[in-house]
Amino acid sequence: METLQSLISGLSVASAPLNLLFCFIGVVAGVLIGALPGLGPSAGLAILLPITFGVNPTAGIILLAGIYYGAMYGGSITSILIGVPGDPASVMTVADGYPLAKAGRAGPALGMSAFASFIGGTVCVVALTFLAPALAKVALSFGPPEYFALMVLGLTAVSGLTEKSVVKAFLSTLIGLFISIIGLDLVTGLPRFTFGSIQLFDGVSFIVVALGLFGISEVLISMEQKQAPLIYDKEQLKWRNLFPTLKDWSVSKWHIVQSTVVGFFIGMLPGTGATVATFISYGIAKNTAPPARKKLFGKGAIEGVAAPECANNAAAVGAFVPLLTLGVPGSASTAVMMGALMMFGLRPGPLLFENNPDFVWGLIGSMYIGNVLLVFMVILCTPIFVRMLQTPAAVLNAVVMAFILVGAYSIHNSILDIGLTIFFGLLGYIMKKMDYPAAPLVLALVLGNLLETSLRQSLIISGGSVGIFFTKPIAGIIMACALVVVAWPIIKALRGWKKGVKSAS
Amino acid sequence: MRRADIITSLAILLVSLYFIWDAVRMEYFIDGAPGPGFFPLWIAILMSVVALFILYGAVRDQSRAGKKPIFNKKFWRNTGIVIGGSVLAVLFIDTIGMLAAVGLLTGFLSWALGTKSYKTNLALAVFTPLAFWLIFEHALQVNLPKGLLGF
């Protein structure tokens, strides 16, 4: 009952004209960002973050959330029309979406993608509504050791579950933690690694790092890729052609249900995120499909579009659960949002529900409204979105670069911030070329100060003994999970090495 | 990639050794509680260990030797255009103001990245700063640095 009352109050906050406007802008920007190949949700969030500082925190986070789940849908547009995923979470959509477009069914594929995203997103917002306050109440009993363990798990999971080199991901995390140390020590006030610069006493702003690592490096990487021509049949995108047929619904309905559940739970786990959710849900959909439909997967099965698209929006909502209740983001995009919350002066975590109910419930309320807005806009505005995607990459990259530099300046009115953004842009480009993932670095930077504080508090409680992280039951279990995440790639590498030795001998 | 891995891991190793040296000079424990040097020291130690892992892996892995270099012509060209252009724009902010510097940068980047139409490049150089003026100066009340011409 209390939850429903809070939700009603949240909906009234979200339906305030300014918040509605920001929700609309966020969803539109998100769809475009998701659709533009090369520009992912984390880059989009980082680039547009500076414009949220001039508004109140609720409107700001509503805009960012809109971008996040809007981008989850947007990625499907280019995946279906030209076979180029707009972001990693829509890679699986290409498998069946593009063959459907080639067979003249781009409209129903885009429509199914929108409706599946809507269903997955909305059902998961309902789950978030009831699960988040309950989890926040449990998290109120957590002390510094539990928080430290949770943050360690978050960081190790993001590094350990990376697709390429796990060792490089760990190094990326450590570099992020080190950057977070730069500035005045929170307890003693001693300057650490500031190299004599007073401007670095406040530390390196995470936005500067995110703008460089996600924004500038994306521009540089996209310059290496050829822009695929957007050729499509205009007739297919007329709004009446976007509705899937009854047969489409009948073959997709159960896949939508299971992908919603899978996406939500995977979204809640640290280090996995929407991309993993799409791969798993696509795999499950293919394996559970009847033999006659199974053969169509990869050749144009509409349920092959419904499952991943539903899962990525479900996962996007699921990712808010640990962010809002525990204050521990599980992915690059939620790390950017957590950084934004901290810039707004809010501390994500269980107390957020008690101290800032208008903010949290306003955000949850906006997700209901945003999902409805998203489906209407997709049905009515897809041809406009597609036309906007025809902007040449050169023009887009030039404007994005200019926006990044002005955005970097606007954080603290500092030219040094622009210089640092350019530096991190170059660093991000080199990191991408060398397979160092950027997400663990940004996540570590956002969590660094909190991690150090909870570590120091825990050691004060225990009198300097690290045993506190293993003897307290909840902290111990979480730390054990973190150790498994660290040990797993090492075991895998050792197995591979042993196999190599055997085959060589 | 192998050579690049060896060079970068060596560089990170050196940097982390410097961090260890600097962290050791800070207090490790104060009155039984971790001091300002505690966390940086452990992070720097872990960094050096992981860098050593990467170095060891790269030295052992001969299979990646002689493959296409990462820092090729394309890399230097892209870096020169985007990073070089941005650095130049920043250097001109004091003289011509941020909006003009950003306008010139946008026009230059659009041209250098392949837009052949001078009308488009000129329009970008003029209208992008105008849009930024509306968003940042007008709507968000950010005071962007002015140049000698007063804007």
**Residue B34 domain-assigned (yes or no):** yes
Question: What is the interface size between A and B, counted as CB pairs within 8 Å?
Answer: 170
Contact indicator for A169, A162 with CB cutoff of 8 Å: yes
Q: Do A219 and B90 touch (CB under 8 A)?
A: no
Reported as a single tens digit per residue, the pLDDT across A108-164 is 999 999 899 999 989 998 898 888 888 888 888 888 999 999 899 888 888 776 767
Looking at the partner chain, which of A392, A429, A455 has a beta carbon nearest the beta carbon of B115?
A392
| Domain residue limits, chain A | 2-226+247-504
Residue-level pLDDT at A300: 86
Q: How far is B123 from chain A (nearest CA, A)?
A: 11
- Among chain A residues, the shortest Cα distance to B22 is held by A193
Q: Do A415 and B139 touch (CB under 8 A)?
A: no
**Residue B28 domain-assigned (yes or no):** yes
- Burial of B26-43, coded b for 16+ CB within 10 Å and e otherwise, reads beeeeeeebbbbbbbbbb
Mean per-residue pLDDT for A243-253? 90
Burial class of residue A440, CB neighbours in 10 A (0-12, 13-18, 19+)? buried
Interatomic CA distance for residues A195 and A268, integer angstroms: 39
The verdict on B38 and B13 lying in the same domain is yes
Q: How far is B148 from chain A (nearest CA, A)?
A: 17
Q: Do B109 and A398 touch (CB under 8 A)?
A: yes
| Mean pLDDT estimate for chain A | 86
The verdict on B27 and B51 lying in the same domain is yes
DSSP state, residue B97? B
CA distances from A50 to A53, A57, A348 (A): 6, 12, 19
Reported as a single tens digit per residue, the pLDDT across A312-338 is 889 988 988 888 888 888 778 888 888
Q: Work out the number of other CB atoms within 10 angstroms of the CB of residue A170.
A: 26
* Residues of chain B under the 70 pLDDT cut: 64-67
Interatomic CA distance for residues A365 and A368, integer angstroms: 5
Residue-level pLDDT at B74: 87
Contacts A412 to B, Cβ<8 Å: none
Which pair of structure tokens corresponds to residue A437? 């993932």
Looking at the partner chain, which of A175, A188, A409 has a beta carbon nearest the beta carbon of B144?
A409
Strand extents, DSSP E, A156-287: 183-184, 191-192
Mean per-residue pLDDT for A78-89? 80
Q: Do A410 and B136 touch (CB under 8 A)?
A: yes
Range of the domain at B122: 73-139
**Residue B110 domain-assigned (yes or no):** yes
Q: Do B115 and A394 touch (CB under 8 A)?
A: yes
Residue-level pLDDT at A503: 62
**Residue B37 domain-assigned (yes or no):** yes
Confidence of residue A500 (pLDDT cuts 50, 70, 90): low
Contacts A426 to B, Cβ<8 Å: 79, 83
Interatomic CA distance for residues A281 and A255, integer angstroms: 8
Residue-level pLDDT at A90: 82
- Among chain B residues, the shortest Cα distance to A451 is held by B39
**Residue B150 domain-assigned (yes or no):** no
Looking at the partner chain, which of B53, B86, B103 has a beta carbon nearest the beta carbon of A422?
B86
Looking at the partner chain, which of A413, A415, A425 has a beta carbon nearest the beta carbon of B83?
A425
Reported as a single tens digit per residue, the pLDDT across A252-281 is 999 999 999 999 998 888 766 788 888 899
**Residue B148 domain-assigned (yes or no):** no
The verdict on B57 and B81 lying in the same domain is no
Q: Do A433 and B70 touch (CB under 8 A)?
A: yes
Phi and psi at residue B106, to the nearest 5° = -60, -45
Q: Do A401 and B57 touch (CB under 8 A)?
A: no
Is the per-residue pLDDT at A504 higher than 60? Answer: no
Nearest to A64 by CA among A298, A332, A340: A340
Q: Do B128 and A170 touch (CB under 8 A)?
A: no
Rg of the Cα atoms in chain B:
24
Contact indicator for A78, A389 with CB cutoff of 8 Å: yes
Confidence of residue A231 (pLDDT cuts 50, 70, 90): low
Q: Helix, strand, coil: what percent of chain A each, to 5?
A: 80, 0, 20
The verdict on B134 and B77 lying in the same domain is yes
- Among chain B residues, the shortest Cα distance to A395 is held by B110
Helices (H), A356-438: 357-388, 393-412, 415-433
DSSP state, residue A226? P
Interatomic CA distance for residues A59 and A19, integer angstroms: 5
Is the per-residue pLDDT at A461 higher than 80? Answer: yes
**Residue B149 domain-assigned (yes or no):** no
The verdict on B78 and B135 lying in the same domain is yes
Q: Do A51 and B43 touch (CB under 8 A)?
A: no
Q: What's the length of chain A? A: 505
Looking at the partner chain, which of B47, B102, B140 has a beta carbon nearest the beta carbon of A51?
B140
Contact indicator for A298, A305 with CB cutoff of 8 Å: no
The verdict on B82 and B51 lying in the same domain is no
Nearest to A404 by CA among A389, A393, A419, A385: A419
Confidence of residue A86 (pLDDT cuts 50, 70, 90): confident
Is the per-residue pLDDT at A501 higher than 80? Answer: no
pTM, 2 dp: 0.86
Looking at the partner chain, which of A187, A224, A399 has a beta carbon nearest the beta carbon of B128?
A399
The verdict on B57 and B110 lying in the same domain is no
Q: Do A452 and B50 touch (CB under 8 A)?
A: no
Q: Do A415 and B145 touch (CB under 8 A)?
A: yes
Interatomic CA distance for residues A347 and B75, integer angstroms: 40
Interatomic CA distance for residues B107 and B115, integer angstroms: 9
Looking at the partner chain, which of A168, A192, A398 has a beta carbon nearest the beta carbon of B124?
A398
Interatomic CA distance for residues A404 and B95, integer angstroms: 21
Is the per-residue pLDDT at A496 higher than 70? Answer: no
Contacts A190 to B, Cβ<8 Å: 26, 36
Strands A191-192 and A183-184: antiparallel
Q: Do A394 and B109 touch (CB under 8 A)?
A: yes
What is the number of domains present in chain B?
Answer: 2
Is the per-residue pLDDT at A374 higher than 60? Answer: yes
For an interface test with A, the pick among B67, B71, B82 (most A C-beta atoms closer than 10 Å) comes out as B82
Is the per-residue pLDDT at A464 higher than 70? Answer: yes
